[in-house]
Structure 1
């Protein structure tokens, strides 16, 4: 993959869509590349309180992603949807309850000394409940139509408009829910001091912080793939292949 020359006018979501390795840089500087991926790098750096020159230097120091030419941006719509379903939806349903059980164990032992664990518990339970409803909307409403739309484009035929009127309507809802989760996990990061166990935290406490950080990392990739790749592709295909 040819190395890109980034500048402050690139949208952060566009940068990550082009080379997902850049997500590590943005995460390190606290720059939101998924829920607000449409923001230009200069503005995103200003909002995060970091130097755009420093971030550009870190981006330029990255080696280009050699795993897949073009990264996720080179994948067709059906493959991206399949990846989200089989990697991210399964991960949330498998790992969410495991992390919650660990959180409840840590809260029972350390909750008195660290009352922030109680708010953390409430937030994580809310997240799992909201995410399950979100996944069901994708699986039962949005993704089946997007796959039908993709198949139509491959076969060069038109299809009828979605029962919601346009794909922009459910996409708008999905984006709003993504932003809600982003805000929730921003608060979780604050409560946990950036997913860092306190000095008196036991091994389970440290494991919990690692599990939560991994959960957020997966969630942000999930949101990035949808907001910055799947949804724009869907809108473009609808313009071409829906009567």
Structure 2
């Protein structure tokens, strides 16, 4: 689908994976306001159509790029989480939190938003730890247990089934919370745009925040569109 100004928000959401995240970033209502055209939405929010189009296409391409992963078995997908997604996000978060604290200490008196951002980062850090712990310590063992059965559909117990479903429900809840926090951070940071007078640390913080946002949402899309559907297929 080629994105044009005349497209409605609802049309784009239905065709372009991840566009909901971009609309949320700019506070564009894609639910009740889905009948609005992209041109009208851009005018209302003070952004250019080309900026919106490029970000939607970029996000969609990242997600579509994971479509080839659907051909992989669950074992290799779980290994990706352990060796790629988790270490990368964990490392990025541990680097950015001290920077956020530094910027908040230095600039917080004149820019209250950086203090709020630091506190939100601490909150999302706890939630990310819980989300990964749930995936690694609940979802993966549940998958391994079911895969070890000779005939999963015939031999699976109610307890094993509930363990898998419970882990998936926690993932869904965690994703909603984390996405909401990043939405608040994006709003507070004017979509990761530092003030003109900002120092290098201030600017680097906002750049790092945007990169972390993209990494986390990339992982959440991987979970939502690849890992979880593949996991649920073993009990279908």
Q: Residue in 2 aligned with 1:129?
A: 126
Q: Aligned in 2, Cα 1:10/1:168: closer, same or farther, shift over 3 Å?
A: farther
Alignment of structure 1 residues 83-232 onto 2, 5 Å? 83-150=80-147, 157-158=151-152, 159-161=155-157, 162-163=159-160, 165=162, 167-232=164-229
RMSD: 3.8
Rounded to whole Å, the distance in 2 between the matches of 1:71 and 1:234 is: 16
Higher RCO (CA < 8 A, seq sep 6+): 1
Figure out how many residues of one structure are paired with residues of the other and give that number: 213
State yes or no: 1:51 paired with 2:44: no
Deviation at 1:103, TM superposition (A): 0.6
Relative to structure 1, the CA distance from residue 113 to residue 98 in structure 2 (aligned partners, 3 Å threshold; closer, same or farther) is same
For 1:130 and 1:61, the matched residues in 2 are separated by 26
TM-score normalised according to structure 2 size: 0.73
For 2:227 and 2:93, the matched residues in 1 are separated by 24
Mark the CA change 1:198 to 1:168 in structure 2 (over 3 Å): closer, same or farther: same
Unmatched tracts of structure 1, length 5 or more: 17-22, 33-42
Q: Find the aligned partners of 1:215 and 1:189 in 2 and give their Cα distance.
A: 11
Q: Which 4+ stretches in 1 moved above 4 angstroms? A: 4-12, 43-50, 57-65, 67-70
Greater helix share, 1 or 2? 2
Gaps (5+ residues) in structure 2? Answer: 40-48
Say if 1:178 and 1:223, in contact at 8 Å, map to a contact too: yes
Partner of 1:20: none
Query: Post-superposition shift, 1:211?
Result: 0.8
